[in-house]
Amino acid sequence: MSDFATTPLTFSAAQDFLAQKVDLPTALGSLDLSLKLPARIRAQAFFSARVASANILQALRKETEAIARGDYNYAEGRLRLKNFLSAQGYGVPPVGAKGERDLRDLASTRRLDLILRQNVAMAHAVGQREVAENPAVMELLPCYEYSTGPNPRPEHAAFDGLVLPKDDPFWATHYPPWDFNCNCLALDTAAQPNGKSSGFKSGSPMEGHLDHRGMRQLTGNPSGFEFDSRPSGAFAKPDFSTIEDADLRSQVEDAFKHKFSGSALAAVKQAPPPQPVAPPPVASATTWQLPAALQHFDQATPPAVAALTDAPQFVVTHSPTKAYYSPSEGAVHLNAKTSTWAGTVATYHHEVGHHLHHKLGVVTGHGMDPKFRDAIHADLNTITGLKFGAFKFSDLKIKQKQWAISQEASKAVGVEAAFNSGDNLARQRVLFAFDTIGGMTAGAYGFGHAKSYYERPFTGAKEVFANCATAAILGWSEFKLYFPNAMHYVEQKLGLTP
């Protein structure tokens, strides 16, 4: 057992948000729902147009919660729902049929994807904001940068690159997802604001003015979708008086009162932790075979890790300092000489770590696992209170002291003699710790890469994963002291839990 506190945050706000949603069976269609049921109440209810069966709603909810917890992926959840609906007498469109794209058909792939993805995305948004707006994280990364996903709508693309403080009222209604099928992102950043919201109010409405790129825009949402992702807004008591239809108001109020046993709709207790899903068995003898020039790394990857994905291609580079992973090639480039920076075992594991986060979907070009983001934010609370040798965390912002900090840090991690001897592995052990800090703080603190490199979306997180994977495999214990939550996540993901 580890001596370090490695229990990660549990995304409690995300779990609570799904738990507190009220099942609302309804015969109303999409248009009537948008006209008769206020957006704030829709966000706190679990429903789907023309789904009046409580049994079916519960099945939809069960799969949504399982996907949000990470028990399995969307494809598995969708398949389970199709099997359930088929047993209930629904005609399930065959794969490739035109009906798979019909939003009017509950059993269609497109309709089920909309239900699952929208509810999971909303829950994750609440959980992410709970963590990202922790005071310790806000001090280091005080703003969000709006980043569009693939094929954004024009009204979403208009915000691409917008940087505003995390407490700006704009985010109360425009933190993604703020519309159906919105795949945009809000990225933590230490960059300076480049816009100003002048017409928004902290609670609502969606309508407001935003000054950005030299233009004053009136922003709103034609679809009528509205979702307050702030935990304080997501868990606010519904105002039933906003429902004009008396019969509908009575139905909705009764559903909420039944859910909360007539209480004043106080915060819901967190749902009990789910039973862990057993990982698939791995072949203990799984190994990767490397080309002859790199055969000294054969069996360097632990069998449990090698069983997770196919091996990358291994390419020999002639540069003594340049090693890298190319996701387009699926290739790790290394020097064949162990005496060079690009040929050490730490470099090997670091570049393989990039292959793993890419193949396992931990960090991709479009986003990262919310649980990993959660762990990174939690570790910011840890490292801000630590000392690195004779230096405080705040000293890591002074770039002129990089070399002195490295030398002092080598004392702290017990590798001073090896560091002074010029041993590449010892120096990498120190540098990787500060590179991890650089990745966690988007280059505001730490070093290892240029600040502009860390500031690219998700690039810093990639370095955090690769460094922690290296530390987990090589047993660098100081990483568990500095980055307990990220290390716990990586160990779990790689099957290396002590």
pTM of the model: 0.68
- Statement: residue 260 has pLDDT above 80: no
By CB atoms closer than 10 A (0-12, 13-18, 19+), residue 18 is: buried
> What's residue 278's pLDDT?
52
N-terminal to C-terminal alpha carbon distance within the chain: 6
- Statement: residue 111 has pLDDT above 50: yes
| Residue 333 φ then ψ, to 5° | -105, 125
Read off the pLDDT of residues 317-364 as tens digits, 9 standing for 90 and up: 999 999 999 998 999 999 999 999 999 999 999 999 999 999 998 987
As given in the structure block, the two tokens for residue 1 are 């057992």
- Statement: residue 174 has pLDDT above 70: yes
Buried b (16+ CB within 10 A) or exposed e, 275-288: eeeeeeeeeeeeeb
Are the beta carbons of 224 and 38 closer than 8 angstroms?
no
Read off the pLDDT of residues 203-244 as tens digits, 9 standing for 90 and up: 555 677 888 887 777 677 777 677 778 877 777 778 888 888
- Between CA 33 and CA 42 the distance in angstroms is 8
| CA-to-CA dists, residue 211 to 102, 215, 216, 341, angstroms | 39, 6, 4, 48
> What's residue 487's pLDDT?
95
> What's residue 119's pLDDT?
87
- Statement: residue 282 has pLDDT above 80: no
> What's residue 399's pLDDT?
65
| CA-to-CA dists, residue 304 to 260, 350, 487, angstroms | 45, 17, 17
- The more confidently predicted of residues 29 and 283 is 29
- The more confidently predicted of residues 42 and 278 is 42
Q: How confident is the model at residue 5 (pLDDT cuts 50, 70, 90)?
A: very low
As given in the structure block, the two tokens for residue 196 are 């100003």
| CA-to-CA dists, residue 151 to 155, 157, 160, 183, 288, angstroms | 12, 9, 12, 9, 38
- Statement: residue 20 has pLDDT above 90: no
SS3 352: helix
What pairing do the DSSP bridges indicate for beta strands 195-197 and 215-219? Answer: unpaired
- Between CA 242 and CA 37 the distance in angstroms is 8
- Statement: residue 402 has pLDDT above 90: no
> What's residue 343's pLDDT?
94
Q: How confident is the model at residue 1 (pLDDT cuts 50, 70, 90)?
A: very low
Contacts of 282 (CB under 8 A, 6+ apart): 303, 304, 307, 308, 495
Q: Considering the chain, what percentage of its residues have pLDDT values greater than 70?
A: 88
> What's residue 370's pLDDT?
81
> What's residue 325's pLDDT?
96
> What's residue 88's pLDDT?
86
Q: What angle do CA 446, 132, 356 make, to 5 degrees?
A: 65
Buried b (16+ CB within 10 A) or exposed e, 388-413: bbebebebbeeeeeeeebbbbbbebb
> What's residue 422's pLDDT?
75
What pairing do the DSSP bridges indicate for beta strands 143-147 and 45-46? Answer: unpaired
Strand partners, 315: 333
- The more confidently predicted of residues 133 and 4 is 133
C-alpha atoms less than 13 angstroms from C-alpha of 73 in its C-beta half-sphere = 4
Read off the pLDDT of residues 446-467 as tens digits, 9 standing for 90 and up: 888 888 898 888 999 999 999 9
Q: How confident is the model at residue 261 (pLDDT cuts 50, 70, 90)?
A: low
Q: Which whole number is the average pLDDT over 410-433?
A: 79
- The more confidently predicted of residues 329 and 32 is 329
Of 230, 257, 239, the closest CA to residue 13 belongs to 230
Contacts made by residues 280-284, CB under 8 angstroms, sequence distance 24+: 282/307, 282/308, 282/495, 283/307
> What's residue 272's pLDDT?
43
> What's residue 11's pLDDT?
52
- Statement: residue 421 has pLDDT above 70: yes
- Between CA 199 and CA 216 the distance in angstroms is 10
> What's residue 203's pLDDT?
54
- Between CA 6 and CA 489 the distance in angstroms is 9
- Statement: residue 80 has pLDDT above 50: yes
